[in-house]
């Protein structure tokens, strides 16, 4: 039964992931061709949904299709099942490939596990290299700038770690109780106005729980053989988050041009490494090609600042969406198993029958 669940989950999640990626490509193509305009905030939610929904829908389909056998009892289920056909979901399709399919599935799961471990180790090794840079001797920052950072951090209930380094470095580390790490070089490089914009940008990551959501999306992106496509979605979603936090910072400081200036200074002095791990949010853009679009948007904000209402919407945590998704998942599953337990099972087998 466990292998049957895994086999069907991989099948459905792969198909749904490919469909989700196609929808995302259509969205990006339309945006680039200016056929329609979608805000960065909306894109973060859309891309997150396209990453999460394929494995969630696949799991729902598998549970709704296979639980009736336990829910109704083996004898009743078998009697109702034979009335329609004798084959069982993917079993009839994959029998000819056994045991090769079983071996391939196990190899796939092991490969994904090893790849995830490697990515985690690689991310931490990059953070370690950053930490090594923090051991460089640097001149002490201006006390007034330290006070400014402490005041902003206190307003957002954000812990701050100051390290002595001549590199202008800043990032938010951690999940639920994240911590802002910044260097003395950053304080010495930026003006007070620029520094305020950077801290407000990083505070926005903290308020929105971006690192926690990044962890969940990163894990979900590896749940099918189509993970190279879902990892691209994950990267696109992360890029749009930076636009959202820039907008929040612009709405707070009322000085978007200072934020743009800080972005140019920091990225010229210390280009961000490709360290988009599950625990770090950077003010710096990892890809130089993403700096120019952010600066253009910030320049536009100089003519029309984001409103307070917009800021409130952008800083909202996705708790309602997550709780609604969990409620819908469990509620619909219980309802279908109680009212029509064989509907999903028979529908799934009918769809697979077209492939047979």
Share of the chain above pLDDT 90, in %: 29
pLDDT greater than 80 at residue 245: yes
Contact 184, 244 (CB under 8 A): no
Q: Which residues contact 133 (CB under 8 A, 6 or more apart)?
A: 165, 167, 169
Contact 218, 234 (CB under 8 A): yes
In this predicted structure, what is the pLDDT of residue 85?
A: 46
- Mapped onto helix, strand or coil, the DSSP state of residue 28 is helix
- The H-or-E segment that residue 182 falls in is strand 179-183
Instruction: Convert the pLDDT of each residue in 12-68 to its tens digit.
Output: 888 999 999 999 999 888 777 666 788 899 999 999 999 999 999 988 888 887 776
Mean pLDDT for 334-351 is: 74
pLDDT greater than 80 at residue 70: no
pLDDT greater than 50 at residue 101: yes
Buried b or exposed e, range 179-198, using 16+ CB within 10 angstroms: ebbbbbbbbebbeeebbbbb
Return mean pLDDT, the chain. 79
Q: Which residues contact 157 (CB under 8 A, 6 or more apart)?
A: none
In this predicted structure, what is the pLDDT of residue 222?
A: 86
Grade residue 353 by pLDDT with cuts at 50, 70 and 90: low
- Picking from 197, 331, 214, 202, the residue whose alpha carbon sits closest to that of residue 264 is 197
Lookup: tokens for 258: 């200072």
Contact 299, 257 (CB under 8 A): yes
Contact 48, 217 (CB under 8 A): yes
pLDDT greater than 60 at residue 86: no
Sheet holding 159-163, edge to edge: 159-163, 179-183, 170-173, 280-282
In this predicted structure, what is the pLDDT of residue 93?
A: 47
What is the bridge-based pairing of β-strands 159-163 and 179-183? parallel
- The torsion angles phi and psi of 35, rounded to 5 degrees, stand at -75, -25
Please spell the DSSP secondary structure of 291-302, one letter per residue.
HHHHHHHHHHHH
Grade residue 202 by pLDDT with cuts at 50, 70 and 90: very high
**Alpha-carbon span 221 to 73, nearest angstrom:** 35
- Picking from 5, 17, 8, 15, the residue whose alpha carbon sits closest to that of residue 222 is 17
Grade residue 87 by pLDDT with cuts at 50, 70 and 90: very low
In this predicted structure, what is the pLDDT of residue 102?
A: 61
Instruction: Convert the pLDDT of each residue in 119-153 to its tens digit.
Output: 666 666 666 565 555 544 566 778 889 899 989 98
pLDDT greater than 90 at residue 260: yes
CB burial of residue 175 (10 Å; 0-12, 13-18, 19+): middle
In this predicted structure, what is the pLDDT of residue 250?
A: 95
Mean pLDDT for 157-183 is: 84
Quick one: CA dihedral 341, 347, 350, 352, positive or negative? negative
């Amino acid at each position: 039964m466990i292998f049957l669940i895994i086999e069907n989950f991989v099948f459905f999640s792969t198909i749904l992931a490919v469909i989700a990626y196609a929808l995302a490509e259509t969205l990006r193509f339309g945006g680039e061709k200016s056929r329609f305009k979608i805000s960065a905030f909306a894109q973060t939610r859309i891309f997150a949904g396209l990453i999460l929904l394929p494995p969630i829908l696949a799991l729902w389909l598998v549970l709704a299709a296979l639980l009736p056998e336990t829910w109704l009892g083996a004898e009743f289920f078998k009697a109702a099942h034979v009335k329609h056909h004798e084959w069982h979901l993917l079993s009839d399709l994959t029998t000819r490939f056994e045991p090769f399919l079983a071996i391939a599935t196990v190899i796939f799961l092991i490969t994904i596990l090893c790849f995830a471990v490697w990515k985690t180790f690689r991310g931490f090794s990059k953070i370690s290299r950053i930490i090594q840079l923090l051991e460089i001797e640097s001149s002490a920052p201006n006390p007034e700038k330290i006070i400014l950072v402490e005041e902003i951090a206190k307003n957002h209930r954000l812990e701050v770690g100051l390290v002595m380094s001549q590199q202008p470095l800043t990032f938010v580390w951690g999940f639920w109780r994240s911590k802002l790490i910044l260097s003395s070089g950053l304080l010495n490089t930026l003006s007070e106005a620029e520094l305020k914009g950077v801290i407000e940008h990083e505070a926005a990551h903290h308020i929105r729980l971006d690192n926690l959501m990044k962890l969940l999306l990163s894990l979900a992106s590896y749940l099918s053989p189509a993970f190279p496509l879902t990892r691209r979605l994950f990267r696109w979603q992360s890029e749009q988050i930076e636009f959202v936090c820039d907008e929040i910072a612009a709405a707070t400081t009322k000085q978007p041009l200072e934020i743009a200036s800080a972005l140019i200074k920091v990225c010229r002095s210390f280009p961000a490494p490709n360290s988009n791990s599950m625990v770090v949010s950077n003010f710096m853009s990892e890809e130089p090609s993403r700096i120019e679009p952010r600066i253009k948007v910030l320049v536009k904000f100089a003519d029309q600042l984001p409103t307070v209402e917009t800021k409130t919407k952008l800083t909202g945590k996705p708790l309602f969406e997550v709780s609604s998704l969990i409620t819908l998942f469990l509620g619909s599953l219980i309802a279908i198993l109680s009212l029509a337990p064989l509907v999903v099972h028979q529908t799934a087998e009918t769809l697979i029958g077209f492939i047979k």
